[in-house]
Structure 1
Amino acid sequence: MDYKSPQPHKRQIMPLLLLVSMCLFGSVVLSSFKAETVAATNQVAGSVRQKLLQDLDALKKQAGVFTGSLRQFEQQQVRVEQVREAFYQLKHAYKKTEHLVEYLDPELAKSLNGAPIPKVAVEHQPYLALHFQEPTHVTFQPEGLQVLEELLFAEELAPGPQQEALLLAFRLEEKISLFNNNLRNQPLTDRQLLESLREQLVRAMTMGITGFDTPAAGHSLAYTATSLEPVLQTLRLYRENASGQVQARCSESVKLVQDAQAYLQQHPDFDSFNRLYFIRELADPAYASLTTLQHLLLQQTQVADLSKPVNDLSYSLFDDRFLQPAFYAKQDRSNANPELVMLGKVLFFDPVLSSNNQRSCASCHAPSKAFTDGQVRSLAFDAKGKTLRNSPTLLNAVYSTAYFWDGRAQYLQDQVPDVVNKAEELHGNYEQVTEKLQQSAEYRQLFKRAFKSQPENSVSTNTINRAIAAYVQSLVALNSPFDQYMRRQTNEYSEAAIRGANLFMGKAGCATCHFAPAFNGTVPPRFLESETEVLGVPATADLTNTTLDADAGRGGVIGAAAFQYSFKTPTVRNAALTAPYMHNGVFSTLGEIVDFYDAGGGAGIGLTVPNQTLPPSPLNLTTEEKQDLVVFMNSLMDTTATTSVPKRLPSFPKGSELNKRIVGGQY
């Protein structure tokens, strides 16, 4: 009998035909979408590059006009008001190029529009070398538009400042020409273009509307509106070259950015501008739309890129995933390893790290106090003396590139050995600590689970530091009433808190150093650098009769004049739980802090602080405004990361004195 292939039943044929047809339809749709996407991106990058070159030419021309006005003023041919008007036009011309200049060459951008404070370049050395020799450094004087603004809008433009302004104007022209020439040989990709648009929205929300780069003349809202114009132009180009789904998304993005720009133009008064409305209702939705558009155009996979701080999959500045903790890790730059975090948590609360087995990391970073110690200065190891400074919060501490009050460590992992070894703190010794840990079968097992790739040598100085750093990295608390309101998860948010938030980001100037969303000193829109500031912190809380605190801060680590009395800008999240305030605990309430800033810092109250980075002029806040600021800061409370403490510690062999250890230590 001849063998015949069995005939498929009709019920088998129909699903097969359906599957084939679905695959064919899907490939047609996918091909159509790819063609649609290619059409949208083929011409846009080239057109934007050409427009940028034109805008740079216009910027260079306006820089020449400004330089000419300075010369004329020097010869008494024009009034200072005309020079200032030429400056306004120059700043607007820069804002039309800002998104791509800052994206493509951030270092050049700092010389065009950087903060008007000296820049200290420090030679990179191993962290521990800081304890034995001072790193070499070079100080560069500030230049660019912000420095010019402070000179031009002083009470009087005297001959000395005139000459300085003229020199800075020439330098500005040179830098613009340099960037212009370099760009002519540099292609522009769609990824660069789309990322620069999203960065510009973040810049507008965190820096533009706060007056970050307008230290003397104002006009920050008008400048921010101008900076959104190239965003609109680019989106319109994509819309013209797209169809279907991409075109619809482009249209949505255009409408949202248009509305944000219009709001800025219609509400030019800096003090009364409603920043929360602008961010929540206009700019943040525009950012979400741009994120979706980038995913469509670049056909990005839904996997976070952990090689940069900002999460491309996040749709809101106040999404708790907007910044990626893994980026800030020194070694373990991957999604959190639960076993590693658990080991770090146990070590954090275990006094076995100290020489007397009585003190732990939690001794100075108590969960009930938002991982601070509530001390003016922390209790020393001998339980009698005090350390030089107090313990800052560890909640959201991961979002930083500088640790300790003086910023001497770059990573959380580098913070651990300083604490373990320091005689005033844990007074420990890694050789003794590892020897103790090796005696515990439970600890050996915990280390093997956390470090599966090195089971035979899993207990070491490096693994201890990595585990504790991983735990601190996990202490993310970004679900405060403020965050929930900004994410539109609730409409319940008090009028006093709204007023306070607007003051914080506006008239009070707080957000020019405490940047959203972490409200610390890590600078947007890329969040790659954490600042220190010179505030002129007093030795006592009596602002009418005090002296400058003697602690040199970062100046004690890097001997640059610009760093004298400079301290890391901490987060104000959970500030209601982290009193007393400042490195020396000089202020016991948030109200006292607000009074200090309102007076203009140390220089404002009459102390000699020539390098103060905080403006010394008074803010002139009313009593109600000060109260509203405190209400806002209180609304940044989220203690969800502080509730879990180990119930017990790993055991040691029977009869060991180490089994008497107390979770968190005795003192």
Structure 2
Amino acid sequence: MAAAVGLLLGLGSFKPEASAQQPTTAAVRQLLLRDVGALQAQSTRLVAVLQLLEKRQATLAQAQAAFRATKSAYKRTEYLTEYLDPELAKRINGAPLPKVVVTEADYLALGRRDPQFVTMPPEGLQVLEEMLFAPEAPNAAEALILAQRVEEGFNRFAANVQHQPFTNQQVLGSLREEMLRVMTMGITGFDAPAAGSEMAFAAEALAPVLAVTETFAQAGPAPEAGAATVAALQKTVTYLRQHPDFDSFDRVYFLREVANPAYGRLVALAAAVLPPADAEDLLARPVNEQATNLFDPNFLRPAYYAKQDRREPSPAQIELGRLLFFDPVLSSNNQRACASCHHPAKAFSDGVAKSPAFAPNATVARNAPTLLNAIFSTAYFWDGRAGFLENQIPEVVNRPEELHSSYAEIVQKLQGSRAYQQLFQQAFGTKGTPALSASTLNRALAAYLRSLVALNSPFDKYMRHETDALSASAVRGANLFMGKAACATCHFAPLFNGTVPPRFTDSETEVIGVPAGADLAHAHSDPDAGRGGIIAAEAWHGAFKTPTVRNAALTAPYMHNGVFGTLAEVVEFYSRGGGAGLGLPVPNQTLPFDNLDLTVQEKADLVAFMETLTDTTTSLAAPRHLPAFPASAHLNDRQIGGKY
């Protein structure tokens, strides 16, 4: 147990910051110490009740009440626990799933070494919640061990914050982050899987945000901004408390009319209090702290997710990348391009169950997902084996089943085109450095792919008050998506993919038990191991990257194997509880396998909502001409976008 406790505490991630305290931060520290003390007392009581439960001297109802009190107390410290020590917070209140830790740093060298990994069992409040609120009686001894580990984590955090000086930047950053956490996870029930207290916990999480903001209104350097923020937060907390029912909670109204305005006020308060951040500091975080709306098209910074060129790409780089993307000169036979499997008219997907391979009439194992908004990820390919776009591109170029080429071969060919040489010079030319190289080729393609940001759908515009035109069915569907249907616990707003808020630094894979055929009445398992084929962890067998549902109306067929031809079929699969709900052997399924009991109308509403996420307005169309190769006539008849 000692080793497990050591991992729980996350000792290395908490770093005190030496700086003079402001009057506001001194008051915040006192508030936090008070709430941490209450948390310690509640967690100690929970342990005591579970000890009695183990001896049959307490009832399950008493244990559940003690848990709710502990979870509520944690929520009042969450804003700073998560901000100051996110690793500890994950272990205290992370998802109730096994965690696979890869110990071999570079596992991309497939075929040369086997990556080593350790699978850690789930622990924390969410695991304890599922145990205490399950239909069957819990194992009191196991529940007690979990509660003791959580208590030890709370005590460690309490010891750390006793002498932790806070800055205004830390405090205001933690408030914005907590607001986003509630908007994207709290109201979806992400971390309240069984107790049925989702909105109460969300209100508890924002209560200290309100209290801290009141200190800025009373003693801070920007009292007017503080007062306006207090009013907006009071409205937010009040709405949550007045609408405690999870299924009937109007998330669209809450986000549009209540939470987003409050978040905008928090942004304005930070701007009034803090000095402007320098450009390098801004790029260290994915969230654009000047964006005042979760659905602002500039809410996230694409540059953060780049491996190279962590700044806005130049128009010359994007245009060069566009030409290369549609140019079959990248393939060894000069007949296949990136656009062969990523068609602009299909939101840069390919519209087939499995994408065509290099060999005629052959296919690869999976299909091509959309490239729109693909930059907002830290996992690429369906199995998530690449962490950056810049790592994904070379594998496609070199893979025999795809472009069947090499960077050396492509560069040699491109050097035969004066037009391409000039374009590379304009995009990357610097004194003493070759403008045309494998590196600049890769960077140009990445620059183009980074430009494919499409966050101006009808739903986005509605949420930004740019239009009131959203059907009642779509509004109902959005509420279902973020509520009863539980879609948004994996497809997180605002990207509606697996990139996890509120920091947006990690992208998840999920095991949902996708079948091999669309006949759900006679379902059988798909043999694709997904991420488990890269790293042979049992928890990752059948795990696939959680794709975006933005532009889903254009990207059929669905799933890695294209098994479903319509969004209605996808909804039906999820409604039945995924593969496990169909009776398939998926012991490690991360999707809840209980039937959602969605009505015919609710299923139609979910589809109507997803259709409002369509936006291809930022997509650059295929070029009308490709650069010429004067000395290689056979290259000049190559087809834009490839022949197949």
- TM over 0.5, shorter chain: yes
Aligned residues of 1:496 and 1:632 also touching (Cα < 8 A): yes
Picking from 223, 232, 251, the partner of 1:275 is 251
Alignment deviations for residues 258-296 of structure 1 (CA, whole Å, 9 cap, x no partner): 101111111111111000110111110111111011011
The yes-or-no answer on 1:307 pairing with 2:287 is: no
Q: Residue in 2 aligned with 1:97?
A: 77
SS at match of 2:520: coil
1:40-59 pair list within 5 angstroms? 42-59=22-39
1:384-395 pair list within 5 angstroms? 384-395=361-372
Picking from 458, 482, 491, the partner of 2:435 is 458
The yes-or-no answer on 1:115 pairing with 2:115 is: no
Cα distance between partner residues in 2 of 1:489 and 1:302: 31
Counterpart amino acid of residue 417 in structure 2:
S
Picking from 608, 622, 642, the partner of 1:631 is 608
Q: Residue in 1 aligned with 2:13?
A: none
Picking from 268, 286, 302, the partner of 1:292 is 268
Specify whether residues 258 and 361 from structure 1 end up closer, same or farther in structure 2 by C-alpha distance, changes over 3 A only. same
Cα distance between partner residues in 1 of 2:501 and 2:54: 38
Q: Residue in 1 aligned with 2:132?
A: 152
The yes-or-no answer on 1:222 pairing with 2:200 is: yes
Work out the number of aligned pairs and report it. Answer: 624
Picking from 159, 175, 182, the partner of 1:204 is 182
The yes-or-no answer on 1:239 pairing with 2:213 is: no
Picking from 180, 185, 192, the partner of 2:158 is 180
SS at match of 2:558: coil
Counterpart amino acid of residue 626 in structure 1:
K
Picking from 507, 522, 531, the partner of 2:508 is 531
Counterpart amino acid of residue 192 in structure 1:
Q
Q: Residue in 2 aligned with 1:467?
A: 444
Specify whether residues 456 and 197 from structure 1 end up closer, same or farther in structure 2 by C-alpha distance, changes over 3 A only. closer
Counterpart amino acid of residue 367 in structure 1:
P
Cα distance between partner residues in 2 of 1:265 and 1:185: 34
SS at match of 2:226: helix
Picking from 462, 466, 472, the partner of 1:489 is 466
Aligned residues of 2:22 and 2:167 also touching (Cα < 8 A): no
Q: Which 10-residue stretch deviates more, 338-347 or 92-101?
A: 338-347
SS at match of 2:505: coil
Q: Residue in 2 aligned with 1:359?
A: 336
Counterpart amino acid of residue 175 in structure 1:
G
Alignment deviations for residues 619-652 of structure 1 (CA, whole Å, 9 cap, x no partner): 0000000000000000000011235221111111
Alignment deviations for residues 104-150 of structure 1 (CA, whole Å, 9 cap, x no partner): 00000001100000111113544641343222111111111000011
Q: Which 10-residue stretch deviates more, 149-158 or 205-214?
A: 149-158
The yes-or-no answer on 1:593 pairing with 2:570 is: yes
Cα distance between partner residues in 2 of 1:111 and 1:537: 29
Q: Residue in 1 aligned with 2:418?
A: 441
Picking from 248, 258, 261, the partner of 2:224 is 248
Q: Which 10-residue stretch deviates more, 633-642 or 403-412?
A: 633-642
Aligned residues of 1:134 and 1:557 also touching (Cα < 8 A): no
Alignment deviations for residues 272-322 of structure 1 (CA, whole Å, 9 cap, x no partner): 100011011111011111101101101326968122100011111000000
SS at match of 2:452: coil
Q: CA deviation at 1:103?
A: 0.5
Cα distance between partner residues in 2 of 1:533 and 1:199: 24
Counterpart amino acid of residue 320 in structure 1:
P
1:372-391 pair list within 5 angstroms? 372-391=349-368
The yes-or-no answer on 1:191 pairing with 2:139 is: no
Picking from 288, 294, 297, the partner of 1:320 is 297
Picking from 163, 169, 189, the partner of 2:141 is 163
The yes-or-no answer on 1:576 pairing with 2:553 is: yes
Question: Normalising by structure 1, what TM-score?
Answer: 0.92
Aligned residues of 2:108 and 2:386 also touching (Cα < 8 A): no
Q: Residue in 2 aligned with 1:337?
A: 314
Counterpart amino acid of residue 48 in structure 2:
G
Q: Which 10-residue stretch deviates more, 295-304 or 141-150?
A: 295-304
Specify whether residues 401 and 454 from structure 1 end up closer, same or farther in structure 2 by C-alpha distance, changes over 3 A only. farther
SS at match of 1:637: coil
Q: CA deviation at 1:430?
A: 1.7
Counterpart amino acid of residue 572 in structure 1:
V
Cα distance between partner residues in 2 of 1:120 and 1:377: 29
Cα distance between partner residues in 1 of 2:621 and 2:577: 40
Counterpart amino acid of residue 256 in structure 1:
A
The yes-or-no answer on 1:403 pairing with 2:383 is: no
Structure 1 or 2, whichever has the larger Rg, is 1
Counterpart amino acid of residue 72 in structure 2:
H
Q: Residue in 1 aligned with 2:493?
A: 516
Counterpart amino acid of residue 225 in structure 2:
R
Counterpart amino acid of residue 267 in structure 1:
H
SS at match of 2:282: coil
Cα distance between partner residues in 1 of 2:624 and 2:376: 28
Alignment deviations for residues 69-93 of structure 1 (CA, whole Å, 9 cap, x no partner): 1111122222111110111101000
The yes-or-no answer on 1:647 pairing with 2:624 is: yes
Q: Residue in 1 aligned with 2:408?
A: 431
Q: CA deviation at 1:55?
A: 1.2
Counterpart amino acid of residue 256 in structure 2:
R
Cα distance between partner residues in 2 of 1:205 and 1:455: 50
Q: CA deviation at 1:456?
A: 4.4
The yes-or-no answer on 1:264 pairing with 2:264 is: no
Aligned residues of 1:519 and 1:571 also touching (Cα < 8 A): yes
Cα distance between partner residues in 2 of 1:462 and 1:189: 41
1:115-154 pair list within 5 angstroms? 115-123=95-103, 125-126=105-106, 128-154=108-134
Q: CA deviation at 1:339?
A: 1.3
Cα distance between partner residues in 2 of 1:55 and 1:131: 52
Counterpart amino acid of residue 564 in structure 2:
F
Aligned residues of 1:339 and 1:446 also touching (Cα < 8 A): yes
SS at match of 1:640: coil
Q: Residue in 1 aligned with 2:5?
A: none
Q: For the aligned residues, what is the CA RMSD?
A: 1.4
SS at match of 2:510: strand
Aligned residues of 1:365 and 1:371 also touching (Cα < 8 A): yes
Question: Normalising by structure 2, what TM-score?
Answer: 0.95
Cα distance between partner residues in 2 of 1:498 and 1:453: 52
Cα distance between partner residues in 2 of 1:454 and 1:549: 53
Q: CA deviation at 1:156?
A: 2.0
Counterpart amino acid of residue 92 in structure 2:
L
Cα distance between partner residues in 1 of 2:220 and 2:351: 58
SS at match of 1:496: helix
SS at match of 1:544: helix
Cα distance between partner residues in 2 of 1:360 and 1:587: 26
The yes-or-no answer on 1:64 pairing with 2:44 is: yes
Q: CA deviation at 1:66?
A: 0.7
SS at match of 1:651: coil
Q: CA deviation at 1:586?
A: 0.5
Cα distance between partner residues in 1 of 2:278 and 2:588: 46
SS at match of 2:625: coil
Cα distance between partner residues in 1 of 2:632 and 2:278: 53
Aligned residues of 1:448 and 1:455 also touching (Cα < 8 A): no
Aligned residues of 1:134 and 1:559 also touching (Cα < 8 A): no
Aligned residues of 1:127 and 1:409 also touching (Cα < 8 A): no
Q: Mind listing any 5+ residue stretches in structure 2 that lack a counterpart?
A: 1-19
